[in-house]
């Protein structure tokens, strides 16, 4: 029982405890705040990719695309694990603003609004047609005109708070968009001896804010069939560049990807005698994370590096606790001698100091977690205040597509960090505790007695 009471008494009375608790609390605070922010940014980025690309993507890097996509989408829709699927064309084109005369080579994305809005979160990315996404390509000032949706960062400025300065009324802007059509064999379509180019005028009908900076600053969305004809993908068997697939709720994600892959293989086998069968060779079936690995992998690597850094923070905590407990045990050697003289065992002494360490870890973790939660709860207001007062921003909102700084640590992170703090305290206290337990009580208590 003494090994329950004494740790509490030592914890309450020893001033060095405050140092140990503070050391643990600071480490816990730092880990929770940084992990919450960094994790939040990574998870947010992955979620935005998921919103944009849906669950699974069948795609080719070739600008020629692949054929028979519509038949495969029909077979996918009849399967038990697919909620919806939509064809997509990814290509490049020259976009010339009729009002400014400026032009740029941009990515063009052909989407079929009815299936695309069912498969992805495209509707939520719109500004003017959020409520009526099927009219996204119909300019509000004249729905009969051919419309285009433009990536928000291509058109709209952001203020220093990160808010887009949208026009209240949709401006009547038109763009000449030029594509170079390709045959199924990958050659440019020619008219006589000159290269054929398709130029059509589209009117600005909306902008899309996907939250993915690279996409929002380079992509112009066009109606699927129009882009298909402009790129020559309607010549021969109609072609698409990708199929985005959304799985049904509750369907096992990995198994659904495997099933899609198997279905695709079967489909390619069935179409082996098609005149565009060669185009299937460049087609891959991937989940959205694999498809976007070039963007997601660096962030996940950063997160892994961060975990490594926090392992070092953990080691520093262990060392700090070791030093503090070494001092505590040194100051308590007389008490250890007394306890041994009245029959306390080595393990009993160890229990006293290890429980003291656990208590230090628990209280330190509780203080650190409480501090981190309060700080995170106010991190955005704090940043706003710093910006108003001193002009400081953690991320320049004119450059980075970050709304609020992530401030929700979730339930698991504080528990994991608290457990790690307690383990760090146990490890740090272990050596001093063993030393305490092995002390010879005669050596401790002998005062001028030899």
Partner 1 sequence: MIENNYILTCRDIFKSYRMGAVHLEVLKGIDLNVEKGEFVAVKGASGSGKSTLLHILGALDKPDKGSVFFQGKNISAFSGRKINEFRNKKIGFVFQFYHLLDELTVLQNVLIAPMVQSGTIGWLLHSAKAKKAASRLLGELGLTARAEHRPYQLSGGERQRVAIARALINEPDVILADEPTGNLDSGTGNDILKIFEKLHSAGQTIVMVTHDDRIAEKASKIIKLADGVIAPA
Of 51-59, 233-241, 358-366, 442-450, the segment contacting partner 1 by CB under 8 A is 442-450
Between residues 142 and 440, which has the closer beta carbon with respect to partner 1? 440
Q: State the nearest-atom distance from the C-beta of 345 to partner 1, in Å.
A: 5
**Residue of 169, 312, 342, 412 interacting with partner 1 (CB under 8 A):** 342
Is residue 442 a contact residue for partner 1 (CB under 8 A)?
yes
Is residue 341 a contact residue for partner 1 (CB under 8 A)?
yes
Between residues 106 and 441, which has the closer beta carbon with respect to partner 1? 441
**Residue of 338, 405, 423, 434 interacting with partner 1 (CB under 8 A):** 338
Of 101-109, 199-207, 335-343, 374-382, the segment contacting partner 1 by CB under 8 A is 335-343
Neighbours of 276 (CB within 10 A): 18
Is residue 346 a contact residue for partner 1 (CB under 8 A)?
yes
| Helices within 237-332 (DSSP H only) | 253-270, 288-291, 293-331
Is residue 337 a contact residue for partner 1 (CB under 8 A)?
yes
Is residue 344 a contact residue for partner 1 (CB under 8 A)?
yes
CA distance 394 to 97: 35
- 222 touches 67 (CB < 8 A): no
Q: State the nearest-atom distance from the C-beta of 426 to partner 1, in Å.
A: 20
Is residue 345 a contact residue for partner 1 (CB under 8 A)?
yes
Smallest CA-to-CA distance from 95 within 177, 163, 30 is with 177
Q: Which residues, 6+ apart, have CB-to-CB distance to 8 below 8 Å?
A: 359
CA distance 253 to 50: 13
DSSP codes, 87-127: EEEEEEEEEEETTT--EEEEEEEEE-HHHHHHHSSHHHHBS
Contact pattern for partner 1 over residues 9 through 38, marking x by CB under 8 A: xx-xx-------------------------
CA distance 123 to 119: 10
Between residues 35 and 437, which has the closer beta carbon with respect to partner 1? 437
Q: Are strands 174-179 and 219-223 parallel, antiparallel or unpaired?
A: unpaired
Q: Site residues (CB under 8 A) for partner 1?
A: 1-2, 4-6, 9-10, 12-13, 334-335, 337-346, 348, 440-442, 445-450
């Amino acid at each position: 029982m003494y090994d329950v009471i004494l740790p509490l008494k030592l914890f309450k009375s020893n001033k060095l405890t405050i140092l140990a608790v503070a050391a643990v609390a600071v480490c816990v605070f730092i880990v929770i705040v940084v992990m919450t922010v960094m994790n939040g940014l990574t998870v947010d980025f992955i979620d935005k990719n998921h919103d944009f690309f849906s669950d699974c993507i069948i795609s080719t890097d070739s600008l020629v695309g692949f054929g028979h996509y519509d038949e495969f989408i029909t077979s996918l829709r009849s399967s038990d694990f697919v909620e919806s699927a939509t064809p997509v064309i990814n290509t490049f084109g020259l976009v010339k603003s009729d009002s400014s005369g400026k032009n740029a080579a941009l990515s063009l994305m052909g989407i079929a609004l009815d299936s695309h809005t069912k498969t992805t979160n495209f509707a939520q990315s719109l500004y003017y047609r959020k409520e009526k996404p099927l009219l996204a390509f119909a300019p509000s000032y004249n729905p009969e005109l051919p419309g285009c949706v433009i990536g928000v960062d291509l058109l709209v400025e952001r203020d220093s708070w990160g808010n887009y300065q949208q026009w209240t009324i949709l401006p009547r802007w038109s763009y000449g968009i030029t594509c170079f059509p390709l045959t199924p064999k990958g050659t440019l379509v020619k008219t006589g001896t000159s290269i054929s180019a398709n130029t059509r005028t589209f009117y600005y009908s909306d902008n899309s804010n996907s939250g993915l900076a690279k996409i929002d600053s380079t992509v112009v969305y066009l109606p699927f069939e129009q882009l298909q004809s402009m790129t020559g993908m309607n010549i021969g068997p109609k072609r698409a560049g990708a199929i985005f697939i959304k799985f049904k709720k509750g369907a096992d994600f990995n198994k659904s990807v495997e099933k899609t892959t198997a279905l695709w293989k079967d489909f390619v086998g069935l179409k082996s005698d098609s005149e565009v069968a060669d185009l299937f060779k460049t087609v891959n079936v991937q989940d959205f994370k694999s498809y976007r690995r070039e963007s997601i992998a660096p962030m996940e690597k950063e997160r892994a590096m961060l975990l490594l850094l926090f392992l070092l923070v953990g080691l520093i905590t262990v060392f700090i606790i070791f030093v503090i407990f070494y001092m505590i045990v040194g100051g308590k050697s007389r008490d250890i001698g007394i306890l041994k003289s009245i029959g306390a065992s080595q393990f009993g002494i160890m229990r006293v100091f290890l429980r003291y360490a656990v208590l230090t870890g628990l209280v330190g973790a509780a203080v650190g977690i409480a501090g981190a939660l309060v700080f995170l709860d106010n991190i955005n207001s704090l940043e706003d205040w710093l910006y108003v007062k001193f002009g400081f921003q953690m991320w320049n909102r004119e450059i980075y597509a970050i709304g609020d700084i992530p401030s929700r640590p979730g339930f698991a992170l504080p528990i994991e960090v608290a457990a790690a703090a307690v383990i760090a305290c146990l490890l740090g206290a272990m050596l001093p505790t063993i030393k305490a337990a092995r002390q010879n009580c005669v050596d401790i208590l002998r005062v001028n007695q030899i």
